[in-house]
Amino acid sequence: MPLPRQAVSAPGKVFLAGGYLVLDRAYTALVFGLDARIHAIIEPLPTSPGVTLSEIIVKSPQFRDASWTYGYRLALDGGGIDITQLRVDALSELHRNPFLDTTLSFVLSYVATIASPTFQPASITIFADNDYYTKPNSDEPPTNAAQQRRFFDFQVPLWEAHKTGLGSSAALVTAVTAALLVHYLPEGSFSLTNEADRKRLHNLAQAAHCAAQGKVGSGFDVASAVYGSCLYRRFSPSLLESLGTSGSPDFGARLKALVEESSHASTWNTEIKKSAVAIPKGIRLVMCDVDCGSQTPGMVKKVLAWRKENPDVANKLWSELQSCNEDLATKLKDIEEGRLSDYGALTSCIGKIRSHIREMSRLSAVPIEPPAQTHLLDACSNVPGVIGGVVPGAGGYDAIVLLIKDDEQVVSELRRLLAGWKGVKDETDGVTIGKVSVLGVREEMQGVRVENVKQYEWET
């Protein structure tokens, strides 16, 4: 019987507090999910009578030339499922999508250890909510059809689109992993509403995402894509050291043990606490896209090198930052639960966090909160109703995040300020912030979820 058409989505993220600290298990991070989501719609791939295919087609209609056709086969010696991109031309070879390649290989390899390794061919359509990418400037008015569509046509190839830093790769891996598990695992054996199954999804998505990016990251972005807003402590990188590569002998068995934590060596020591975070009623989170951008991996390497060379100074500063970050989480919960009503306490706490971050910037010579962003944050913080803000995550020039009173008048005042924003040139690196715009996103407590597939009929 053909499998039904289904859809899932996973949220983006914003790293409110704990950038750099999250790389060390001694510290935690305050991560908020965002209501901007990556959506994956999966359905059987139609074939002619008597024709058998071993293909999965993935397409992203919002971008030019964003279609990938994959073949799959069972690898030798328990190596899982080999994935091969079919119909490869010079352009697609140059712009491969390792996150799709790796996710398909890992998820199908895992499913093959539980169910039949023979998969029905499938089609996956991926949509990104519009705030994941900076919208292109266009003088052409939208057509009536375009006005009715939920998802923006970005008019460029995926590799030319400018990301706004909401965690698109982690949300993509999580959504596609969930869609494949929901689609291919036997009925009744997997549900996104079951906590044990959600943990399996988390473990598998973490493994695939780390393999796709070529390194073991902290995993906070996948955790928020699966669980939504949370207080997060990373897993030990050693967990993934013995997994090996897809296709290697017994890869399928090792992956299953890791995902299902069926041995002591594969027990995940991640801490994900949803109850520890909250955005109180009356407060909302706002993100502003800064049209500039920074190279996060290079910044992280420099900060870690500075910490290694100056352990006493760095560890003292990190401990102070951890204390401030914990204080921020506590104050948000206190307001949520009625123990505190003073937003000024939040403003003070955010100010201390920014002061420590600027000190880290100065000592490490890394632009975590560069002067141009300081100028922007200070100006936004002076808008009535703005509680405070930071440069999220690893910092740099990508974006800023603000906590504000949940009032459209405050958002309107921010838009008015930023509409005519004149960036200040940073004399240290010559960077000038360009266009700054308020994104239409806000906090999202819920993580990955099944969606009503009918809502996408107009789009597909």
Report DSSP letters for 318-375, one per residue: HHHHHHHHHHHHHHHHHHHTTS---HHHHHHHHHHHHHHHHHHHHHHT--SS-HHHHH
| CATH superfamily entry for domain 283-444 | GHMP kinase, C-terminal domain (3.30.70.890)
Tell me if 20 sits within 8 A of 291, measured CB to CB: no
Tell me if 371 sits within 8 A of 382, measured CB to CB: no
Kind plus residue range of the DSSP H or E element containing 287: strand 283-290
Nearest to 288 by CA among 399, 378, 387: 399
Query: Distances in Å between the alpha carbon of 322 and those of 28, 232, 335?
Result: 7, 12, 20
The 3-state DSSP class for residue 7 equals: strand
Assigned architecture for domain 6-274+452-456: 2-Layer Sandwich (3.30)
| Amino acid found at 134 | T
Kind plus residue range of the DSSP H or E element containing 175: helix 168-184
Residue 23: how many other CB atoms lie within 10 Å? 20
Tell me if 109 sits within 8 A of 255, measured CB to CB: yes
pLDDT at 46: 79
Quote the Cα angle for 361-364-370, to 5°: 25
Q: Where are the domains of the chain?
A: 6-274+452-456, 283-444
Please give the Cα distance from 453 to 211 (Å, whole number). Answer: 30
Tell me if 164 sits within 8 A of 133, measured CB to CB: yes
For the chain, helix, strand, coil in percent to 5 are 40, 20, 40
Phi, psi of 431 (to 5 degrees): -85, 135
The 3-state DSSP class for residue 74 equals: strand
Half-sphere exposure of 422 (CA within 13 A, CB side): 0
pLDDT at 91: 59
Half-sphere exposure of 91 (CA within 13 A, CB side): 9
Nearest to 353 by CA among 404, 311, 302, 387: 387
What does pTM read for this prediction?
A: 0.93
pLDDT tens series, the chain, 460 aa: 678 999 999 999 999 999 999 999 999 999 999 999 999 999 998 775 655 568 999 999 999 989 999 999 999 999 999 999 887 665 556 678 999 999 999 999 999 999 888 899 999 999 999 999 987 665 444 444 444 578 999 999 998 898 888 999 999 999 999 999 999 999 899 999 999 999 999 999 999 999 999 999 999 999 999 999 999 999 999 999 889 999 999 999 999 999 999 887 789 999 999 999 999 999 999 999 887 756 666 899 999 999 999 999 999 999 999 999 999 999 999 999 999 999 999 999 999 999 999 999 999 999 999 998 999 999 999 999 999 999 999 998 888 999 999 999 999 999 999 998 876 666 666 666 778 999 999 999 999 999 999 999 877 6
